[in-house]
Structure 1
């Protein structure tokens, strides 16, 4: 035990480890807040779909040589999120089908463009593309190269996300549970759906470099599903989801340091373990009644 503590103390002397912990906890906080809303609105898969869109946008940015790829990734992901959350009963393509279509399409186009670039004969581009694909899909390397600027950007965006959620909590609650009733009472549900879409897109783009585009949906969904196993009220589920997400993020980062496993997949594994624990606890509590 003392050896593990000494190892953690040694690693936390390095700035990039402290940066990873800060960013990881902030992403976990933001993901858990909006994850409950997505699960209850039956848009759980939107995180996976938008992460694939972000991957496709990253491929375009890499191929075109854009210095700051966020100039392409962020707008494209936000637009896709708006289009997906606006799909309703009056559209020919339903929400789940739209998510699947955009998700698979963006991933396929992104991979194809990366493949074309890799076969172009440019060795420098081939090397960069390979690194970008690995980092974007699995979040395996970029978390170790976070700068202080990246941390402050994540802090600023997290503060904005939390502030939006707290300020518009009642409206988000109304839109989440019964959008038609919310409209009847005068709530501008379309505007709040747009707000939710933009916030989700921002969270996904930030989290993409941390856990990877293939694991983002798990980070959003599992804490909410775990909390819903035991708690029933919206506020209780939100609070429990946040606590679970923060604990799993911290645990995953610490375990990845001690064992040497990938950060993103370790965090998701912790979320899965908690989900099974809460599921078993829920079954025991129901039998005890």
Structure 2
């Protein structure tokens, strides 16, 4: 169990910041939270389907339900944002409130209780099975293939949609792809830190990396390393103290952020000047701040 938990935490810690870097660049840092809330409704729907079919293993239905709901919710929010039907913060608010309320109501209809949702809300690394680990590896691999393999095109879209469109890139398709990959990341990280804290694992490592480097490429690479380290460190601490792994991982990440922020003036004094680059074409330009 210990080895499976560590491996799952390490894999998710590497994959999540890749997507988080794109979300930060698009100034959609809270998108992961909104998708996580919608995924909770998917978990409850999975429970409802499992109860209707007389299944004994609700987990077999909950995870696919979360994945489907997360993908649908992410695509809808991107379409709403792109068409300008409502502002991005309002759309995210609808996801927040609707996802939580829908999950609680539907889990009640499925004959479950709010306690059944706790493992999904705050993570449950202790119950990671071999099949769970296999799914985590496959989905994380898909996330890394898209996030790293299409980095140049995705960066162009995140940096300047109009410029990307003028170069012939399929902007709508790529923005939807980012949303879908974000949804998959939420589902993968659900086991590690839970749906309520998943956005922290996607964004905080990127925020830490931004304190040290300012280019897109280096920020993504450093965020992946930081994500892996805080996940393994947080989980290791819980082996010696009876603490929630997901919460401990996030606390470690925020602690690292606070530490780096405190010594940032020293780091900045030693950092060489950024190379000049075309702001729309190179992936070595300054990354948008989380704030």
Normalised to the residue count of structure 1, the TM-score between the two structures is 0.85
Aligned twin of 2:90 = 97
Distance 1:91 1:166 in 2: 29
Q: Does 1:107 align with 2:89?
A: no
Q: Does 1:41 align with 2:23?
A: no
Q: Does 1:190 align with 2:172?
A: yes
Cα–Cα, structure 1 residues 71 and 157, in superposed 2: closer, same or farther, change >3 Å? closer
Deviations 1:54-101 (A, max 9, x none): 111212221342652233221221011112223336422111210111
* Uncovered stretches (5+) of structure 2, i.e. residues with no partner: 52-57, 272-291
Aligned twin of 2:76 = 83
**TM superposition shift of 1:200:** 1.0
* Uncovered stretches (5+) of structure 1, i.e. residues with no partner: 1-15, 118-124
Equivalent residues of 1:248, 1:267 under 8 A apart: yes
Normalised to the residue count of structure 2, the TM-score between the two structures is 0.84
Aligned twin of 1:272 = 254
Distance 1:42 1:218 in 2: 15
RMSD, aligned α-carbons: 1.9
Distance 1:71 1:279 in 2: 39
Equivalent residues of 1:21, 1:253 under 8 A apart: yes
* Deviates further, 53-62 or 35-44: 53-62
User: What's the secondary structure of 1:87's corresponding residue?
Assistant: helix
Equivalent residues of 1:227, 1:278 under 8 A apart: no
Structure with a larger share of its residues in helix: 1
The number of residues matched between the two structures is 263
Aligned positions of 1:79-228 closer than 5 A? 79-88=72-81, 90-115=83-108, 125-126=111-112, 129-139=113-123, 142-228=124-210
